[in-house]
């Protein structure tokens, strides 16, 4: 039998946490033959709710779930974890300045970076979900210098999956037959969902999405804004932000990272930029990546047309500004 993998979920008493922990306990994230021990962290006002989630995990009698740690102590939560999914953060409230929200999250991610650096298992893989996801991940990286930069990522897979979903609906094809969309840049409304290299599997082979959709105006307009603004549309409809789709995307992100992407398929991940595609280096930027042996690699050599270039640059500028804002909160 395999040794259990320890998976940390911060903000585990929240909405995404409630959808995510049963998925992990069922093997959706790490495989149906991989036992897990869940470490759940939240803050003292949520301690009772967190304990309720723990009770439900016990009651669900998940065969793969070998233990549950539910705590408000970051050190206890981080000890020995192999995978860390950072969902906890300070939400933007009405009337709050961007800088105030940033400042709260910078202090959270600075302190959780140290807890992870000192107490997580070696080679722990980190996924930041909490917004501003790219910049929270960057702060975590800066304050956990002994964790390799390649182990720190942020979630843009939900945006990637939303793009697949929109193409599948437009063409009336199975979502599993659509692949290789790309989310470039920030997990924010400046992200660029790019279909220029995306394909659909048809009875007569793989066809470019652009050739099948035959509607460049839609692809360059409504498609992009729908994906960029999907989070807001969910809030409007549900009066709550995306949770089951975010949890599912977090599982997809870690599963592909650990177990590998299928041959010929890439996914989108926010990773520490090396300046590929002339994106700014030194920020967490979403790129197309393939994964093998537990490591991601940015897909190289894709053609970027003029339309795309502008959009890659725009979201890059926003990330550079966020980085500066985050640093200004430190001093
Ligand atoms: P909730 O407010 O339901 O849950 C957040 C939880 O985090 C709460 O239980 C809170 O007590 C806890 N928390 C706050 N500070 C903490 C700390 N210092 N340590 C540990 N826990 C802490 O929000 P939810 O809807 O679950 O969303 C969580 C985060 O995901 C938000 O920041 C949200 O903006 C972000 N999202 C990111 C997405 C992505 O694709 N990257 C999509 C979904 C979501 O909007």
> What integer pLDDT is reported at residue 145 of this predicted model?
97
- Do the annotations mark residue 89 as ligand-binding? no
The Cβ of residue 287 has, within 10 Å, a number of other Cβ atoms equal to 27
Q: If you take atom 2 of ligand 1, which residue's CA is the nearest one? A: 14
Distance 102 CA to ligand 1 centre (A): 14
How many percent of the chain have pLDDT more than 90?
Answer: 96
pLDDT > 80? residue 33: yes
What is the tens place of the pLDDT at every residue in 137-178?
999 999 999 999 999 999 999 999 999 999 999 999 999 999
pLDDT > 80? residue 68: yes
Q: How confident is the model at residue 92 (pLDDT cuts 50, 70, 90)?
A: confident
- How far lies 278's CA from each of 132, 226, 331, in Å? 22, 26, 29
Which whole number is the average pLDDT over 89-117? Answer: 92
Q: How confident is the model at residue 106 (pLDDT cuts 50, 70, 90)?
A: very high
pLDDT > 80? residue 331: no
The residue to mutate among 89, 104, 232, having the most atoms of ligand 1 within 8 angstroms of its beta carbon, is 89
Pocket of ligand 1 (CB under 6 A): 10-11, 13-17, 41-43, 46, 87-91, 108, 129-131, 133, 155, 158, 187, 231, 241-243, 246
Q: 5-9, 44-48, 90-94, 281-285: which range is least confident on average?
A: 90-94
Distance 145 CA to ligand 1 centre (A): 24
What is the tens place of the pLDDT at every residue in 214-253?
999 999 999 999 999 999 999 999 999 999 999 999 999 9
Phi-psi region of 168 (alpha: psi -120 to 50; beta: other; left: phi over 0): alpha
> What integer pLDDT is reported at residue 236 of this predicted model?
96
Distance 241 CA to ligand 1 centre (A): 10
Q: If you take atom 15 of ligand 1, which residue's CA is the nearest one? A: 89
* Pair 63, 57: CB distance under 8 Å: no
d(CA 116, CA 89): 16
């Amino acid at each position: 039998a395999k040794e259990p993998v320890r998976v940390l979920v911060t903000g585990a008493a929240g909405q995404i946490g409630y959808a995510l922990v049963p998925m992990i306990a069922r093997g959706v994230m790490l495989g149906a033959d991989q036992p897990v021990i869940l470490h759940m962290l939240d803050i003292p006002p949520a301690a009772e709710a967190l304990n309720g989630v723990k009770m439900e995990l016990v009651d669900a009698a998940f065969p793969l779930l070998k233990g549950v740690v539910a705590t408000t102590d970051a050190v206890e939560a981080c000890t020995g974890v192999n995978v860390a999914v950072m969902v906890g953060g300070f939400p933007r409230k009405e009337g709050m300045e961007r800088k105030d929200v940033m400042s709260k999250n910078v202090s959270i991610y600075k302190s959780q970076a140290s807890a992870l650096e000192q107490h997580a298992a070696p080679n722990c893989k980190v996924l930041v979900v909490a917004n501003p996801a790219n910049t929270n991940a960057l702060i975590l990286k800066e304050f956990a210098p002994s964790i390799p930069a390649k182990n720190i990522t942020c979630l843009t897979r939900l945006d990637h999956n939303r793009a697949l979903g929109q193409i599948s609906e437009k063409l009336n094809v199975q979502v599993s037959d659509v692949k290789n969309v790309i989310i470039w840049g920030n997990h924010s409304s400046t992200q660029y969902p790019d279909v220029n290299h995306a394909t659909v599997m048809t009875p007569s082979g793989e066809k470019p999405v652009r050739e099948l959709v035959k509607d460049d105006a839609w692809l360059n307009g409504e498609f992009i804004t729908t994906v960029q603004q999907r989070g807001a549309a969910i809030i409007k409809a549900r009066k709550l932000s995306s949770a089951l789709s975010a949890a599912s995307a977090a599982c997809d992100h870690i599963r592909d990272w650990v177990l590998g992407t299928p041959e010929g398929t890439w996914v989108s991940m926010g990773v520490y930029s090396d300046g590929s595609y002339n994106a700014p280096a030194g920020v967490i930027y979403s790129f197309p990546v393939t994964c093998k042996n537990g490591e991601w690699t940015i897909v190289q050599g894709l053609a970027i047309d003029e339309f795309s270039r502008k959009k890659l640059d725009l979201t890059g500028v926003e990330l550079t500004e966020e980085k500066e804002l985050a640093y200004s909160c430190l001093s």
